């Protein structure tokens, strides 16, 4: 399956570099380039890209607002946003996740890391495994009245689903979850999909945010 990628960055040289890296891969295709956030939203709708590489600072509409416009559009339900930035701060990561981004990546990433990230995002995964990222989410969501939606009702989850959600929040893959719970990766994936459906989560990144909102996961836990 070819992964259709939309490049959104106000610097033509940066877009050119990303295009060269992506076009060298047999499973990737660059379907468009946007120099502003408004163009990114319009091209996401016209190209139906699988993944949008979104620079966090671009002219026009705020990039996070553009991310919300894409992830909040029911007609673009299959489009994932991967935020690219030179500003790897706690605040940017948190706001990117709340805007609906499926991942957050520094521009200093190696080409192999960028390609892996795109594949993970395209499969519906998220770039939330580093302990530092989980810790900063916990820290910000612990603040009074954090800038986030109310946590969904967790009563609908079974005991096993609660365990799985906690392991997702800890950054474990389906394979690792299966090993921890002595079930197959397919069974683990089925649990994750059911949890997402029950909690209305967009993807695994959203599940991690929900886990911290509900206090099911805590920094260092």
Burial per residue of 100-123, b for 16 or more beta-carbon CB atoms within 10 angstroms, e otherwise? bbbbbbebeeeeeebbebbebbbe
pLDDT above 50 for 130: no
pLDDT top residue among 34 and 130 = 34
Q: Give me the residue label for tokens 């986030």.
A: 148
Choose the weakest-confidence range: 11-15, 52-56, 103-107, 145-149: 145-149
Contact status, residue 97 vs residue 104, Cβ threshold 8 Å: yes
Q: What are phi and psi of 200, to 5 degrees?
A: 65, 35
pLDDT in tens, 52-96: 999 888 887 888 899 999 988 888 888 999 988 775 555 666 677
Count of Cβ atoms closer than 10 Å to residue 13 Cβ: 8
Choose the weakest-confidence range: 128-132, 160-164, 198-202: 128-132
Please provide the size of the chain in residues.
Answer: 221
Q: Which of 154, 135, 160, 138 is nearest to 201 (CA)?
A: 154
Beta bridge partners of 33: 7
Predicted TM-score (pTM) of this structure:
0.65
Q: Are strands 103-106 and 80-85 parallel, antiparallel or unpaired?
A: parallel
pLDDT in tens, 181-220: 999 888 988 999 899 889 888 777 677 777 777 766 443 3
CA distance 101 to 98: 7
């Amino acid at each position: 399956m070819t992964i259709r990628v939309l490049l959104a960055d106000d610097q033509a040289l940066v877009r050119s570099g990303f295009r060269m890296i992506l076009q060298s891969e047999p499973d990737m295709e660059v379907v468009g380039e946007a120099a502003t956030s408004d163009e990114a939203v319009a091209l996401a709708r016209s190209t139906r890209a699988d993944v949008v590489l979104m620079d966090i600072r671009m002219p026009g509409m705020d990039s996070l607002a553009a991310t919300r416009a894409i992830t909040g559009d029911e007609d673009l339900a299959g489009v994932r946003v991967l935020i690219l930035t030179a500003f790897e701060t706690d605040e940017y990561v948190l706001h990117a996740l709340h805007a609906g981004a499926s991942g957050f990546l520094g521009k200093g990433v190696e080409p192999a890391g960028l390609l892996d990230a795109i594949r993970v995002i395209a499969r519906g995964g998220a770039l939330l495994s580093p302990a530092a990222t989980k810790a900063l989410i916990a820290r910000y969501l612990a603040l009074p009245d954090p800038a986030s939606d109310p946590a969904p009702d967790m009563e609908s989850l079974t005991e096993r689903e609660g365990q799985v959600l906690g392991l997702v929040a800890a950054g474990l893959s389906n394979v690792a979850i299966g090993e921890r719970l002595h079930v197959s990766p397919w069974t683990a994936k089925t649990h994750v999909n059911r949890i997402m459906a029950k909690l209305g989560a967009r993807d695994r990144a959203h599940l991690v945010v929900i886990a911290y909102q509900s206090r099911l996961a805590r920094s260092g836990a």
